Amino acid sequence: MSTKAAPLALSVKDLLAALSVIVIWGSNFVFMKFVLKDFTPFQMGAARYLAAALPLVFFIKPPAMPWKWVVLYGLFQGVGQFGFLFLALQVGMTASLASVLMQTHVFFTALFSFVWLRERLTPPLVGGLILAGLGLSCFALNFVARPEVVAVTVGGFALNLCGAALWAASNIVARKAQGAAPAFEPLPFLVWSSIVPVVPFMALSWAFDAPAPAGMGWLDAAKWASVPLSSWVSVLFLGWVATILAYTLWTGLLKRHPANRVAPFSLGVPVVGISAGMLTLGEQVQPLQWAGIALVVSALACVMLGDRLLKGGLKTKN
């Protein structure tokens, strides 16, 4: 008889934390759309990470790890993931579909781990990759079958996938960072890595943002004073809530519970994202896009629940 204790179920507090993260991450795509009405993608990136770093950086000590991991995470997760995502939302991507496509970071992470960390590809992961590939094919076919639908463009679709790939790269960096710091603490890591994207985003804005009309320049105080309160609130939400609070809650759950018990909650992010986009922004989802969404969510379920189901099946047979 086995004496190994079963993993503890999530407490009410942990369950509320998980549900809060789902709502925050699912709805934050709508907040990005609001901010893009008054900011360029690069300005929004700089503002988001300034909000995430300030004022916490003055009260939280730097993480006890080599600085290269802090810098790399800030570049991949900040400039990479969100830089591409913000551009995608500007050039042609709905908040609804962005919430789904960003979840493909799970599959990019698996592929990068296979190549760089020599982790094996499990049967559920292979099945998930196949389903995800079919789902992306449905999104691509929509451009051919419904060319008159311009809410999502090929450029926006490609940039969104680039953002998901850079999110996956930041996941690899985070794993390396945890390995380099025996007493890894997520909050200092997140706060101090949030400083890194600010200057690159400002430099990108100076270099690539089109010459702005009167009152829209970086150094024009009238421009910033004219930004409505709703956009500033959205920036603070993206910085403090979606970045610092949500990632800290999620990491805390992963420290207290097995990953296979926590990860399935992220399946709710696309559900919230699609609902928020349709209800608040009036976004529409085409039939082929619904098929793609169903396949991508099924792929995520296969990856996150497949091992547990296989183990349960083997126990039943034995």
How far apart are the C-alpha atoms of 297 and 264, rounded to whole Å? 11
- Predicted pLDDT of residue 215: 40
How far apart are the C-alpha atoms of 207 and 115, rounded to whole Å? 34
Of 197, 186, 270, the closest CA to residue 238 belongs to 197
- Predicted pLDDT of residue 309: 60
- pTM for this prediction: 0.86
Q: Tell me how far apart the terminal alpha carbons of the chain are, to the nearest angstrom.
A: 14
Tokens for 233, please give them.
């609130």
Residue pair 295/138 in contact (Cβ under 8 Å)? The answer is: yes
Residue numbers in the chain where pLDDT is lower than 70 = 1-9, 145-150, 211-221, 258-260, 306-318
Contacts 24+ apart (CB under 8 A), 170-176: 170/73, 170/76, 170/77, 170/80, 170/81, 171/105, 171/109, 171/112, 172/109, 172/112, 172/113, 172/116, 172/117, 173/69, 173/72, 173/73, 173/76, 173/77, 174/73, 175/117, 176/69
In sequence order, what are the residues at sequence separation of 6 or more whose Cβ sits closer than 8 angstroms to the Cβ of residue 250? 21, 262
In sequence order, what are the residues at sequence separation of 6 or more whose Cβ sits closer than 8 angstroms to the Cβ of residue 141? 288
Written as one letter, the residue type at 206 is W
How far apart are the C-alpha atoms of 198 and 223, rounded to whole Å? 19
Residue pair 54/46 in contact (Cβ under 8 Å)? The answer is: no
Written as one letter, the residue type at 86 is F
Residue pair 164/104 in contact (Cβ under 8 Å)? The answer is: yes
Tokens for 86, please give them.
């913000």
How far apart are the C-alpha atoms of 115 and 25, rounded to whole Å? 28
Written as one letter, the residue type at 82 is F
- Predicted pLDDT of residue 118: 75
Residues 72-106 pLDDT 10s:
999 999 999 999 999 999 999 999 999 999 988 88
Residue pair 249/75 in contact (Cβ under 8 Å)? The answer is: no
Residues 174-200 pLDDT 10s:
888 888 887 888 889 999 999 999 999
Is 123 strand, coil or helix? helix
- Predicted pLDDT of residue 150: 59
Q: Residue ranges per domain, the chain?
A: 12-206+227-317
- Predicted pLDDT of residue 74: 95
Residue pair 152/94 in contact (Cβ under 8 Å)? The answer is: yes
Q: What is the DSSP letter of 210?
A: P
How far apart are the C-alpha atoms of 234 and 187, rounded to whole Å? 21
What separation in angstroms does the CA of 318 have from each of 128, 309, 311? 26, 14, 11
